[in-house]
Chains A and B, each alone.
Chain A
Amino acid sequence: MATIELKDVNRSFGKGVGQVQALTAINFQAEPGELTLILGPSGSGKSTFLTIAGGLRRPSSGQVFIDGQDISNLSSRELDQLRLNKIGFVLQSYNLLPYLTVAEQFQLVDRVRPKGNLSPQELDQLLQELDIDQLKNQYPDQLSGGQNQRVAVARALYTNPAILLADEPTAALDSVRGAAVGREFKMLAKKKHKTVLVVTHDLRLKEYADRIFEINDGKIKQTK
Chain B
Amino acid sequence: MFLAIREIKHNKLHYGLIIGMVALIGYLMFMLVGLMLGLANENTAAIKSWDTQTVYLNKDANENLSQSLISKQQAGKMNSHEALVGTVPVVLRKTSGHEAKQSIQFMGLSKSQYIYRNKLKITEGRKPTKAHEIVLDESLKDKGYKVGSHVKLNSQSTTYRVVGFVKDAQLNIASLAIGSLSTWQELKGTSNQFVASGILSDRSLSASHHRQLARYSVNQFIQKLPGYSAQNVTFEFMIGFLMVISLIVIAVFLYILTMQKLPEYAVLRAQGIPVKTLVWGTLAEAIILMVAGVVIGLVLTFGTSLAIPAAVPMLIKWPLTLLIGCSLVILGTIGALLPVRIITKIDPVDAI
- Asked if residues A47 and B272 are in contact (CB atoms below 8 Å), the reply is no
Chain B: how many interface residues by the 8 Å CB criterion?
Answer: 24
- Collect the chain B residues with CB atoms within 8 Å of residue A80's CB: 269, 272-275
- The digit string for A68-95, where 1 denotes a CB below 8 A from any CB of B, is 0000000001001111110111010111
Q: Provided the pairs A51-B349, A94-B263, A94-B351 are in contact, do residues A89 and B6 lie with their beta carbons within 8 angstroms?
A: no
Q: Give the CA-CA distance A112 to B6 in the complex, in Å.
A: 16
* Neighbour of B264 across the interface among A83, A85, A94, A107, CB < 8 A: A94
A16 CA / B85 CA spacing, docked (Å): 88
> Do B349 and A57 touch (CB < 8 A)?
yes
Taken together as a complex, chains A and B put the C-alpha atoms of A50 and B351 apart, in Å, by: 11
**Which residue of chain A is the closest to B273 with respect to CB atoms?**
A112
Considering the chains assembled together, what is the distance between the CA atoms of A88 and B272 in angstroms? Answer: 9
A91/B270 in contact, CB under 8 A: yes
**How many angstroms between the C-alpha atoms of A97 and B351 in the bound complex?**
13
User: Does residue A65 face the partner (Cβ distance < 8 Å to B)?
Assistant: no
B10 and A167 within 8 A (CB): no
In whole angstroms, how far apart are the Cα atoms of A127 and B68 in the complex? 89
Interface residues of B in 176-223 (CB under 8 A from A): none
Shortest Cβ distance from residue A91 to the other chain B in the assembled complex, whole angstroms: 6
In the complex the two chains form, is A84's CB within 8 Å of B349's CB? no
Looking at B10, B266, B275, B277, the one whose CB has the most chain A CB atoms below 10 A away is B10
Question: In the complex, which residues of chain B have a beta carbon less than 8 angstroms from the beta carbon of A56?
Answer: 270, 348-349, 351-352
Q: Is B342 an interface residue (CB 8 A)?
A: no
Q: Which residues of B contact A156 (CB under 8 A)?
A: 271
Closest-CB distance, B262 to chain A (whole angstroms): 10
Taken together as a complex, chains A and B put the C-alpha atoms of A124 and B124 apart, in Å, by 76
Return the contact of A82 from the options B7, B272, B277, B349 (Cβ within 8 A): B272
Contact status of A83 and B2, CB under 8 A, knowing A51-B349, A57-B349, A94-B351: no
Q: Are A108 and B2 in contact (CB under 8 A)?
A: yes
Complex Cα distance, B277 from A81, in Å, reads 13
B11 close to chain A: CB less than 8 A: yes
**CB proximity of B275 to chain A, nearest CB, Å:** 8
Task: Give, as a whole number of angstroms, the nearest-CB distance from B288 to chain A.
Answer: 14
